């Protein structure tokens, strides 16, 4: 774990064993790599300030991709697959409005300064704050789910389990959930 980071993935390994088994199978080791080269997405990140928690997350998880067949609330398999891609570049690519617009809405949704995009899942972007709070926000800003840490969201998104720590809001396509106008 990097100094000043509020992220401690190892604390969640026993809480979410199925999730971390998938992460290990995808290549996660739990180690940081301090000689990490400059990533290709840095030019796209000019509206967002990376902080130690986001950087810690990125050096541990970037490049991994995990998936699980979707399930209905009844437990029956659905016709779709839930994917989580730990590519900040993919998160930036899925933003349909300018980063400036996203920054304003994301900060309002997370109620925490300095959100940074670190992953993408089925058209939703995962933002992480310095305090470790996380939110999957729809790429069109019409809905979100937020939680005290990203692992709660990953477990819920992949395995379709309910968790009372997740707070969400959904609108309709074309409506910004924060009420901010499009232009």
Question: Rounded to whole angstroms, what are the CA distances from 72 to 80, 95, 133?
Answer: 10, 27, 27
Residue of 74 and 166 predicted with greater confidence = 166
Per the structure, the count of domains in the chain is 1
Task: For residues 2-12, give the mean pLDDT.
Answer: 74
Asked if residue 89 is part of any domain, the answer here is: yes
pLDDT digits (tens, 9 = 90+) for 25-55: 999 988 765 545 566 666 666 667 788 898 8
Asked if residue 8 is part of any domain, the answer here is: no
Structure pTM? 0.84
Asked if residue 154 is part of any domain, the answer here is: yes
Asked if residue 36 is part of any domain, the answer here is: no
Asked if residue 7 is part of any domain, the answer here is: no
pLDDT digits (tens, 9 = 90+) for 91-140: 777 775 555 566 778 888 888 878 889 999 888 889 999 999 999 988 77
CB 116 within 8 A of CB 54: yes
Q: Which domain holds residue 182?
A: 47-70+82-183
Asked if residue 90 is part of any domain, the answer here is: yes
Closest-CA residue to 157 (of 59, 103, 78): 78
Give the model's pLDDT for residue 151. Answer: 94
Residue of 96 and 77 predicted with greater confidence = 77
Asked if residue 158 is part of any domain, the answer here is: yes
């Amino acid at each position: 774990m990097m100094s000043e980071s509020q992220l401690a993935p190892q604390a969640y390994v026993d809480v979410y064993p199925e999730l971390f088994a998938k992460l290990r199978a995808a290549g996660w080791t739990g180690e940081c790599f301090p000689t990490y080269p400059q990533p290709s997405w840095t030019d796209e990140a000019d509206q967002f300030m990376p902080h130690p928690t986001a950087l810690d997350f990125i050096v541990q998880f970037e490049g991994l991709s995990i998936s699980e067949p979707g399930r209905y609330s009844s437990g029956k398999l659905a016709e779709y697959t839930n994917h989580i891609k730990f590519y900040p570049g993919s998160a930036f690519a899925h933003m349909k409005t300018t980063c400036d617009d996203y920054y304003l809405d994301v900060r309002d949704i997370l109620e925490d300064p300095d959100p940074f995009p670190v992953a993408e899942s089925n058209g939703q972007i995962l933002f992480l704050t310095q305090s470790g709070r996380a939110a999957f926000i729809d790429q069109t800003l019409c809905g979100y789910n937020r939680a005290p840490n990203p692992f709660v969201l990953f477990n819920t998104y992949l395995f379709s389990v309910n968790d009372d720590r997740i707070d969400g809001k959904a609108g309709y396509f074309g409506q910004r959930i924060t009420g901010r106008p499009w232009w």
